[in-house]
Amino acid sequence: MQITVLKAKFHSACVTHAELAYDGSCAIDGVLLEKAGIHEYEQIQIYNINNGERFTTYAIRAQDHSGIISVNGAAAHKASPGDRVIICSYGVINESEIIKYKPTLIYLDEHNNIMRIQDHIPVQAA
């Protein structure tokens, strides 16, 4: 059996632009895309921490080291500059691979600088 798993995540990315008059997609700093292993035109899910909106689009490469997270086209109605979002990509693996599988989790600051990269979510005490 195959299962869908989290491939990569940008946690608390800060939206820098919302461009309504654009064909669509989400432009992401090219260095961030490389660190996460997300390819240009790959489907991504965006979860807006500020307003609860959740939507699907695809990634395009923004200028390296720019810190850009630009939500474009119709999706620009769902996020505004300054909003904090979680951006996820998913992949499909064989269920037998789940024991060894590790996603790439990238935690960003308010300027979209990498604070840390992990391969698991630590268990928090209740």
Amino acid at 66: S
Which of 14-18, 70-74, 120-124 shows the lowest mean pLDDT across its residues? Answer: 120-124
Q: What is the pLDDT of residues 4-49, one digit of tens each?
A: 999 999 999 999 999 999 877 999 999 999 999 999 999 999 999 9
Choosing from 58, 90, 101, 107, the catalytic residue is 58
Round to whole Å and give the CA distance between 102 and 81: 31
The reported pTM is 0.94
Sheet arrangement for strand 2-14: 17-19, 69-72, 25-29, 54-62, 43-48, 84-94, 2-14, 104-108, 114-118
**Cα-Cα end-to-end distance for the chain:** 34
For residue 94, the model assigns a pLDDT of 97
For residue 24, the model assigns a pLDDT of 73
pLDDT surpassing 80 at residue 104:
yes
Residue 25 annotated to the active site: yes
Residue 27 contacts residue 72 (beta carbons within 8 Å): yes
CATH numbers and ranges of domains, the chain: 2-116 (2.40.40.20)
Residue 100 contacts residue 3 (beta carbons within 8 Å): no
